[in-house]
Amino acid sequence: MLHYAIVFLIIAIIAAVLGFGGIAGTAAWIAKVLFVIFLILAIVSFFRRST
């Protein structure tokens, strides 16, 4: 999950540098969503293992 978030972030940066604003915004949004999902799953996993 974190890997895909980083990949979409890199795609967003490259698209922004090349001037593709719409694609860059969409890729950045997807990267943010994937990162939030990763954080939620990591926290849930941490609490399930500690109990």
Q: pLDDT tens for residues 11-43?
A: 999 999 999 989 999 999 999 999 999 999 999
Q: Residue 51 pLDDT more than 70?
A: no
The confidence score (pLDDT) of residue 49 equals 80
pLDDT at residue 10 tops 90: yes
| Cβ within 8 Å of residue 1, ≥6 positions away | 34, 37, 38, 41
> pTM of this prediction?
0.81
pLDDT of 35? 94
At residue 15, the pLDDT reads: 94
